[in-house]
Structure 1
Amino acid sequence: LTHRLVAQKSTICADENPAYDGLAFHYDLCRVNHSQEYCSIDGTTNNLAESFFARFRRMIMGVYHKMGNNYMMHYANETAWREDFRYQSDKDKFDNVLKRCLKARPSRDLTGYWQGNKKPTAKFGLESLCLEASNDNQYLAVA
């Protein structure tokens, strides 16, 4: 999943969780040990990711109440947009969304939703690597 969603030669900032060890071979991996420091001497921090996930959890509890994993990319894109533009005025946010809507092509995931066109359940981990080219790239480009 990381190889599908993270560009090659990207820098990934993470904490000391051993789950990230395998990424060091493919990406520039910077670590911060939160038991010793808030951010490393060279400025490495993963606070942007922690802020994103805190906002995402609040959306689940306060806005949506239930999220299916088949539309998780849409929810994640909305959360990222809210995180990126949280300091802009409501007018600027509206203009930004309107420009993106006018630029985007019709969604194959949402067109005909009420007529029964439902997106299949998302696959994670190794199972996700077996998927054919998905429509997610369109939403990543627009986001």
Structure 2
Amino acid sequence: MSLNLKSLFDFLKSNPSEQDCIGYFEKRRWKDKVISPFDPNSKVYKCANNRYKCKNTGKYFTVKTGSIFRNSNISLQKWFLALYLLSTDKKGISSCELAKKLNITQKSAWFVLHRLRYISNLPEFKVMLGNSVEIDETFIGGKNKNRHRDKKAPHCQGRNWKDKIPVLGIIERDGNLITQTIPNTKQETVNPIIRANVKEGSNVYTDEWYRHGDLYKNFNHQIVNHSIKQYVNGNASTNAIENAWSHLKRTIIGTYHQVSKKHLQRYLNEFTLRFNTRKHSEQERFDLVLLSSVGKSLSYKELCKISI
């Protein structure tokens, strides 16, 4: 079985059945040999209703077992459409919109999207960045002029800790992006994260916020001074990471409108996935996320218990 994932029109035109989706997932997950999630060395018997039996353990399983789709009453056909829409739409899709498209409740759609965001944190992109790397932080939250007067801060420039969430961004030029929520933008908080994700000796470009730090000890650190309206200083600039922030904020403002501090990192994972797979075809991105669902699980109770 194959899916036509060149466009949404082609995806809907092919209109795969539930059995087609099960067959597609089985082919991608197991290739030509079904493997028991309970004992990889066990012989497997094929049973009715897309079930299999593990000989060594006596347990039954399906292709959903041991994946993010386990114990879900939502059909795999709807999961596939949700995954396609989330991974291909440049600004994501809201739970209200997805609920209408899948004919499910908004609560179910919200949970579906968060489980897909959960598996979007792919290990393929957890690699050390190098060569030329830009670093900057941004603050997610409302504009100062729109705040309640108790929260307004004179000359704030967006750095109000009452309702803003700081996010660190590290991007390799023409390469991958890393985004991470942080408690603050102090040097002692940010610098260890940078050293853990950037190869020593790389060219690191930042704005003047980092001018008093010690990045020069591990990297070729160069600065652009935005306070004097300097945006390019030789090879130094933060234009690439600023472009990423622009796309992120348009995604939040245009689609989600607001996000909570509790779940922001998952929205960042979703955005970072699309950014880092910008050169992938829709088919490649779909398969990449689909395979990442194996070995993952997230219950509704676990999702709601996440602490901040």
Q: Once the two structures are superposed, what CA deviation does each residue of 1:86-135 show, in whole Å capped at 9, x if it has no partner? A: 23321121122123223x533xxxx33257742112xxxxxxxxxxxxxx
Q: Once the two structures are superposed, what CA deviation does each residue of 1:54-97 show, in whole Å capped at 9, x if it has no partner? A: 11101111222221111222122222222222233211211221
2:213 is matched with 22
Q: Which has the higher strand share?
A: 2
| 1:62-81 matched pairs, under 5 angstroms | 62-81=254-273
Q: Which has the higher helix share?
A: 1
2:296 is matched with 105
Q: Which stretch of structure 1 is more off in the superposition, 19-28 or 43-52?
A: 19-28
Q: Which amino acid aligns with 1:113?
A: Y
DSSP 3-state at the match of 2:222: strand
Identity %: 25
Alignment TM-score, normalising by the size of structure 1: 0.60
Structure 1 residues 26 and 120, CA gap change in structure 2 (3 angstroms) = farther
1:57 is matched with 249
Q: Which amino acid aligns with 2:289?
A: V
Contact 1:52 1:80 in 2 (8 A): no
Distance 2:289 2:305 in 1: 24
Long gaps (5+) in structure 1: 122-143
Contact 2:206 2:223 in 1 (8 A): yes
How many residues are matched?
113
DSSP 3-state at the match of 2:262: helix
Structure 1 residues 119 and 48, CA gap change in structure 2 (3 angstroms) = same
Long gaps (5+) in structure 2: 1-188
Structure 1 residues 88 and 115, CA gap change in structure 2 (3 angstroms) = closer
- Give the drift of 1:33: 3.6
Structure of higher CA gyration radius: 2
Distance 2:263 2:210 in 1: 25
Q: Which amino acid aligns with 2:284?
A: D
Structure 1 residues 50 and 112, CA gap change in structure 2 (3 angstroms) = same
Q: Which amino acid aligns with 1:119?
A: I
Alignment TM-score, normalising by the size of structure 2: 0.31
Contact 1:12 1:27 in 2 (8 A): no
DSSP 3-state at the match of 1:69: coil
1:2 is matched with 190
Please give the root-mean-square deviation of Cα atoms over the aligned residues, in Å. 2.9
Match of 2:286 among 86, 91, 94: 94
